[in-house]
Structure 1
Amino acid sequence: MANKECYQCGIPITGKSLRYDIGNGQVEDFCCFGCYLINKTTGLRGEEGNAVAFLGKFGFGYFLAMIVFMLSTYLYGAHMTPDDPEAQAFTKVIKYIILILSTPVMILLGIPILKNSFSRHNWLNFNTDTLIAIGAFSAYFLSVYSVFTNKPSIYFETATMILVLVTFGRYLETSSRVKASNFAKQLLRLVPQKATLLKDGKEIEVNADKLKLGDIVLVKEGEKIPADGIVLEGNGYVDESMLTGESKPVSKKEEDEVYAGTILNNGFLKIKVIKPQEEWALNKFIKMMKEIRNSKAPINRITDTVSAYFLPVMLSLSAGAFAYWYVEAGFEKALITSMSVLLISCPCAFSIGAPLALWIGLSEAFREGIIIKGADVLEKLSSVKTIFFDKTGTITERFLMVSKVKAKDEDIIKKAYCLEKMSQHPLAISFVYYCKSKNLTADCNVKDFKTHFGYGIEGIVNGEKLYIGNKQFISKLGLTIPQQLEEIEKEAEKNAEIPVFIFNDKQVLGIITFSQKIKDEAPIAIKALKKLKLKIKVLTGDTEYFARIIKEKLGIEEVKANLLPEDKIKEIEKEKQKAKVVAMVGDGINDAPALAKADIGIAMGCGTDITKESANISLVSDDLRKVPLMILLARKVKRVIYTNIFWAFIYNIIGIGYALTGNLSPILAALAMVLSSAFVIGNSIRVKNW
């Protein structure tokens, strides 16, 4: 049975949980009383609650630690009056006062760190808290012993200030993670609290989270749409920027789909709820983002491995320093030096250097409508050398215009319309739109629908086997094209149009030609990719003629035409064999095999269907400029990560060397550790300025 998780911090509870009422009779599991107290006092959960808790602990600890520090300065001069009994009596009182003030700091700030240094299964955890706990509690217990035995070795100010500085560092780290995840919180806040439900001809205000399948809701100008649904009545422009990254409002009319959290800028809409809440686009985004944030990139796993070996080595160095200085200068010098080594070596900066930059990078990508499905994908994206593009729906407009339809009779066109309605290919969608504009009806019975990737589709329409596809599909069945249709095909190729044929098992029955337009943003995107020194190739199943047009208009030298899906895969494999990281950009419908074969598969125009299995990255919109944008972001994240790791290493090497000489106090070591973490956090936030 899976372990319960703490309601506040989300950490699995290995032992017996503490159960508390959080209000309204709701009882939840907590790992400790501290988490319950944080929840009651702040009302915040997760990283945000922890950040507030760390700030509160820091404030309380800092107040007491500064009093301890000031009182300790008196003790430093106590040796000046060894023969004054009143002064010595007062010094003893001061020691007890310092002990009393230090103990709450050790309990509130030190116990959680000490607790994290022990494991239920392995007794001792080798983590950063191990080093901090050993250093701080060594100073504290030595000081307690000195108070009761009247020895001069009092280091309460060192013990408390170490914990205060570490807590402040934890606050910086946690609050930076909160900022990195702000986008997910913004998504959650998008959904309106209330909705106007239409029931029995009346408008009823209800909680949006109570909406269910089939409910009819009314959305007025300026209001947020409360659920995913289909427009039954009305029209207007909807701002979908938080889902798609596109600032331009989208026109919505009858039968169009709308999404929860988007804003109706003008007009009014009557909407029918068509999905349960867990399937709403916004909720799918949030769920996916949580899954992505739990993933680890290779560089992240490397830092984890290094930390695992680094900590035992530092414990050994600390022990060696203690032994050396114990012989050279006695117990106190040995203790102070070993504590300094432990504290300066805490790899906090090293351990957050990679994940923090990755978290921020993934959040920034989400904000632009770029769904990168894992930290490992973001890291690999930064190393892409060659990028392949499909043509239709990628470089050219996704939906093409029907230029000409020629068939044996109107019944053939009607049957083709019924068959194409079963497909989601861009050509099929264009043809269906054309038929609707001609007021054709699609009342045929379609059975055994099947897609042949790279060729076309087939199905039994009103009892007759019918095919719609390209010239290669016709050749595969051993059919010949009538002269009249062949002339139309040649004319289409001259005009850079796509010819598609309608045929059965015996003969070719008709032809449909589609005109296509290169996207306006394509030249900008290709130019940007060239500046990034990427090798660009286009793979298309279309004719050589259109391949020449792409070369002329976009300046892409390598355009391979007349390719089947297996041919595209072979081209990708050839490039991968040159030890290059390869990306493939396609529309995610007929390019699934090629997207899966590439190191990075990028599916464009996924809308809210962000779960394309064949793609590592899904673009919500059709905007080709997002491709160079995502590579720029990935490279910026990579630079920041390597800068973080480099400076964390340099800091540790210099700091440890200096501490081993016995010239670095524990307080300065703890302060240096916090400053190192602050540098890494500040450097990681630079990702936002990409």
Structure 2
Amino acid sequence: MEREGLSIKPTIECECTKPVHEAVECFQCGIPITGKPVRYNIDGKDENFCCFGCYLIYKTTGLKGDEGTAVAFLGKFGFGYFLAMLVFMLSTYLYGAHLTPDDPQAQMFTGFIKYIILILATPVMILLGYPILKNAFSGGRINLNTDTLIAIGAFSAYFLSVYSVFTNKPSIYFETATMILVLVTFGRYLETSSRAKASNFMKKLMELSPEKATIIKDGKEVEVSRDDIKVGDIVKIIPGEKIPADGIVIEGQGHVDESLLTGEVKPVLKNVGDEIFTGTVNIDGLFKIKVNKPSEDWTLNRFINLMKEIRASKAPINRISDRIAAFFLPLVIILVSGSFVYWFYQEGFERALIVSMSVLLISCPCAFSIGAPLALWIGLGEAMREGIIIRGADVLEKLSTVKYVFFDKTGTITEKDMVVSYVKALDEQTVRKACALERNSEHPLGKSFVNYCVNRGFDCDCKVEDFKVHFGYGIEGLVDGERIYIGSEKFMKKLGLEILEDLKKIENKAEREGNVPVFIADDQKVAGIVLFSQKIKEEAPVVFRVLQKLKIKFAILTGDTPYFAKIVKEKLGIDQVKAGLLPEDKLRIISEAKKKGKTVAMVGDGINDAPALASADIGIAMGCGTDLTRESANVSLLGDDLRKVPLMILLAKKVRKVIYTNMFWAFIYNIIGLGLALMGKLNPIFAALAMVLSSAFVIANSVRVKNW
């Protein structure tokens, strides 16, 4: 991790210090490989590992990522704990050796016990201590990280003890050296197992895609691995199976459960020509699909890659903790050196060593360094479970400070699918051409109009060319060679077209009733009007009440007429509705709110609201479904449930509260512990135990995020 020239080395066993040469990840730990990767054969396929340690972890545990590392730490802890306890018990005999100084047999047995303890302690130092020592002194230099403090303390005690054994000195601290490493290893197990639990959603995503698929090849059904599926393959999917690849239905009909990817609980009916997505479940259809994308572009794989990017992001508070830790370590080295010198002149070498080891161990900022990232990981995972895709830890932190929330109306405050309630046109040809033009639009009104025409049997297969979108106004295009315009009254005035009196009456009545009027025109005249009725979402009043309780200001921004704004105000019981707005007006309102120094969020459908979403501090796109690549949104909601807006703010506030609690107590813990250690009141073993308890507190406190 690097920022502005500051390098902070994570305490990971397989860390290397060489420059990155290949953009590949370690098969086991998933960390980008630095230097030349180590390749080993796994299930008949050569895989890249960053070091032999990761390969060994995978071979012994069979698990990848934090789960495999946690199991490896647990195994090493068990082995080290067994030997360290033997060392500790035998060391108690040495404590009483001074009681029988004149007994030659007792002294001979004492000398024998020392060598037994040395033999038992050495495997612990190698297995548990070598990875820490490697991380502390790699690349031909001393790395300022927490492992450096642990390595200095533990190995100082060990080598002093080895020297004392061979020179018959009394300074033997094998039990201290081994127990320090055992406690540190147990702390690492707690950390990695907590990270693994925080990553469970990622694991569930990866399990959504089936391992095998049935493809039709030369008229025969062949079972292949999902990794062998290629663009153009014909895949057969029977009822109850998971969809193994993105593709187009070429044969069959049935319902598909897309709830995890789209947030839509109701099964979706799929017919020939519809697209099916990886990881969704075929409920009752017998499908044959043609794979239309390479595997890296499949919806589920894009989802997983997005999650990896989110997990790799750092919040400002996280980077601050890294910076503090980096400056804290040199300070600790100074305190350790000072304490050693002081106690050396006060009570001699042994006392100085014990005190300095205590200072080293209690000052390890393990809890401080995991306090922010662990809470953020858990928070991001909880959001994902609710269908809230927060694109980075920095966004989650910023969400906790939101003071203004602006809402678009159509598809956000109102139901996304508006119903065509009335159509009046000069002739059927006008409706057909309007339908053909709207087929090219992603706007909810356009989709509703197309559905209306199709259900009534209109032939809308006209040739459309030169399709254009006029944000805030409408659309235009050449339909069978004739220029057609569809849009608002403002669009018609902009085109210089006059609305006939009979259409004007229909428009006025529609606005009084809360319907949305849209006009159809050609180069010469306004040729028709379409009315859309819309329903305000049932959860909208609840959302605004919650925002009021959170003391967050809000407003609805809409391009509709004041008539509809009045209806919205009456139904929702709010005054903050701004009507008749163009996209640039929305940008202006958002900009004015930002100038007040407050964090501003904009909620929209992510299509025609892209400029406003991009302008706000936090853009929230509703109903993204399988479209996870909208660059204008910081947050994507897989469904259309408006309640997720205050929900994500509450989650963000909970995460921020937990982070500040973690950092406060970790900091106080270190200050108190350092004071006791410098005064010589803290034994090294208890210092190591205190470090583990500090990490355990932070982990337990971070888990409270799940109870938001």
TM > 0.5:
yes
Q: Which residue of 1 aligns with 2:29?
A: 9
Q: Which residue of 1 aligns with 2:641?
A: 623
Q: Which residue of 2 aligns with 1:375?
A: 393
Q: Distance in 2 between matches of 1:207 and 1:13?
A: 27
Q: CA deviation at 1:49?
A: 1.6
User: Deviation per CA, 1:260-282, whole angstroms, max 9, x where unpaired?
Assistant: 22223445444443333222221
Is 1:78–1:88's contact at 8 Å kept on the other side of the alignment? yes
Q: Distance in 2 between matches of 1:467 and 1:210?
A: 47
Q: Distance in 2 between matches of 1:464 and 1:624?
A: 41
Is 2:21–2:35's contact at 8 Å kept on the other side of the alignment? no
Q: Distance in 2 between matches of 1:56 and 1:190?
A: 30
Among 106, 111, 122, the residue aligned to 2:125: 106
Q: Residue 386 of structure 1: SS of its match in structure 2? A: strand
Q: CA deviation at 1:12?
A: 5.1
Is 2:380–2:393's contact at 8 Å kept on the other side of the alignment? yes
Q: CA deviation at 1:591?
A: 0.3
CA change 1:361–1:466 in 2 (3 A) is same
Is 2:100–2:106's contact at 8 Å kept on the other side of the alignment? yes
Output the TM-score relative to the length of structure 2: 0.93
Q: Residue 458 of structure 1: SS of its match in structure 2? A: strand
- Equivalent residue runs for 1:485-564 within 5 Å: 485-564=503-582
The farther-off stretch of 501-510 and 333-342 is 501-510
Task: Say whether 1:384 aligns with 2:393.
Answer: no
Q: Distance in 2 between matches of 1:504 and 1:17?
A: 64
Among 31, 40, 57, the residue aligned to 1:38: 57
User: Deviation per CA, 1:565-619, whole angstroms, max 9, x where unpaired?
Assistant: 0000111111111211110000000000100111100001111101101100011
Q: CA deviation at 1:409?
A: 2.2
Q: CA deviation at 1:195?
A: 3.0
Read off the aligned partner of 2:75 and give its amino acid letter. G
Q: Residue 356 of structure 1: SS of its match in structure 2? A: helix
Among 412, 422, 425, the residue aligned to 1:394: 412
Is 2:21–2:36's contact at 8 Å kept on the other side of the alignment? no
Q: Residue 392 of structure 1: SS of its match in structure 2? A: helix
Long gaps (5+) in structure 1: none
Task: Say whether 1:481 aligns with 2:504.
Answer: no
Q: Identity over the aligned pairs, expressed in percent? A: 71
Is 2:21–2:34's contact at 8 Å kept on the other side of the alignment? no
Read off the aligned partner of 1:435 and give its amino acid letter. C
Q: Which residue of 2 aligns with 1:264?
A: 282
Among 162, 165, 178, the residue aligned to 2:180: 162
Task: Say whether 1:229 aligns with 2:247.
Answer: yes
Q: Which residue of 2 aligns with 1:92?
A: 111
The farther-off stretch of 400-409 and 193-202 is 193-202
Q: CA deviation at 1:247?
A: 4.3
Q: Which residue of 2 aligns with 1:313?
A: 331
Is 2:372–2:659's contact at 8 Å kept on the other side of the alignment? yes
Q: Which residue of 2 aligns with 1:643?
A: 661
Is 2:263–2:625's contact at 8 Å kept on the other side of the alignment? no
CA change 1:196–1:7 in 2 (3 A) is closer
Read off the aligned partner of 1:187 and give its amino acid letter. L
The farther-off stretch of 286-295 and 394-403 is 394-403
| Structural RMSD (CA) | 1.9
Q: Which residue of 2 aligns with 1:567?
A: 585
Q: Distance in 2 between matches of 1:421 and 1:75?
A: 87
Q: Residue 423 of structure 1: SS of its match in structure 2? A: coil
User: Deviation per CA, 1:365-392, whole angstroms, max 9, x where unpaired?
Assistant: 1111111111100110111111100000
Q: CA deviation at 1:204?
A: 4.5
Q: Distance in 2 between matches of 1:291 and 1:5?
A: 13
Among 441, 453, 474, the residue aligned to 1:456: 474
Q: Residue 614 of structure 1: SS of its match in structure 2? A: coil
Q: CA deviation at 1:553?
A: 1.3
Is 1:421–1:429's contact at 8 Å kept on the other side of the alignment? yes
Q: Distance in 1 between matches of 2:559 and 2:273?
A: 33
Q: CA deviation at 1:254?
A: 4.6
User: Deviation per CA, 1:618-669, whole angstroms, max 9, x where unpaired?
Assistant: 1111111111211121111111111111110111111111111101000000
Read off the aligned partner of 1:80 and give its amino acid letter. L
Read off the aligned partner of 1:116 and give its amino acid letter. N
Q: Distance in 1 between matches of 2:35 and 2:214?
A: 46
Is 1:604–1:619's contact at 8 Å kept on the other side of the alignment? yes
Q: Distance in 2 between matches of 1:165 and 1:248?
A: 51
Read off the aligned partner of 2:90 and give its amino acid letter. L
Among 87, 90, 109, the residue aligned to 1:71: 90
Q: Which residue of 2 aligns with 1:674?
A: 692
Q: CA deviation at 1:243?
A: 2.3
CA change 1:583–1:482 in 2 (3 A) is same
- Equivalent residue runs for 1:421-436 within 5 Å: 421-436=439-454
Q: Which residue of 1 aligns with 2:6?
A: none
- Equivalent residue runs for 1:405-416 within 5 Å: 405-416=423-434
Among 344, 352, 365, the residue aligned to 1:326: 344
Q: Distance in 2 between matches of 1:271 and 1:532?
A: 48
Read off the aligned partner of 2:84 and give its amino acid letter. A
Q: CA deviation at 1:215?
A: 3.7
Q: CA deviation at 1:415?
A: 1.6
Q: Residue 212 of structure 1: SS of its match in structure 2? A: coil
Among 135, 140, 143, the residue aligned to 1:116: 135
Q: Residue 621 of structure 1: SS of its match in structure 2? A: coil
Q: CA deviation at 1:251?
A: 4.1
Q: Which residue of 2 aligns with 1:80?
A: 99
Q: Residue 518 of structure 2: SS of its match in structure 1? A: strand
Q: CA deviation at 1:522?
A: 2.0
Long gaps (5+) in structure 2: 1-19
CA change 1:571–1:196 in 2 (3 A) is same
Q: Distance in 2 between matches of 1:446 and 1:251?
A: 28
Q: Which residue of 1 aligns with 2:42?
A: 22
Q: Distance in 1 between matches of 2:436 and 2:264?
A: 33
- Equivalent residue runs for 1:188-207 within 5 Å: 188-198=206-216, 203-207=221-225
Read off the aligned partner of 2:91 and give its amino acid letter. S
Q: Which residue of 2 aligns with 1:61?
A: 80
- Equivalent residue runs for 1:205-224 within 5 Å: 205-224=223-242
Among 352, 362, 382, the residue aligned to 1:364: 382
Q: Which residue of 2 aligns with 1:584?
A: 602
Is 1:244–1:368's contact at 8 Å kept on the other side of the alignment? no
Q: Residue 410 of structure 2: SS of its match in structure 1? A: coil
Q: Which residue of 2 aligns with 1:151?
A: 169
Is 2:262–2:624's contact at 8 Å kept on the other side of the alignment? no
User: Deviation per CA, 1:285-336, whole angstroms, max 9, x where unpaired?
Assistant: 1010001100000000000000010111111111111111111111111111
Q: CA deviation at 1:519?
A: 1.6
Q: Distance in 2 between matches of 1:276 and 1:23?
A: 24
User: Deviation per CA, 1:98-128, whole angstroms, max 9, x where unpaired?
Assistant: 111111111111111111112427x121111
The farther-off stretch of 612-621 and 46-55 is 46-55
Q: Distance in 2 between matches of 1:284 and 1:14?
A: 25
Is 1:187–1:242's contact at 8 Å kept on the other side of the alignment? no
Is 1:499–1:512's contact at 8 Å kept on the other side of the alignment? yes
User: Deviation per CA, 1:480-534, whole angstroms, max 9, x where unpaired?
Assistant: 2111111111111112111111223332222111111112222232233233222
Q: Distance in 1 between matches of 2:315 and 2:48?
A: 32
Q: Distance in 2 between matches of 1:20 and 1:213?
A: 29
Aligned length: 688
Is 1:245–1:367's contact at 8 Å kept on the other side of the alignment? no
Q: Residue 623 of structure 2: SS of its match in structure 1? A: coil
Q: Which residue of 2 aligns with 1:131?
A: 149
Q: Residue 536 of structure 2: SS of its match in structure 1? A: coil
Q: Distance in 2 between matches of 1:348 and 1:615?
A: 35
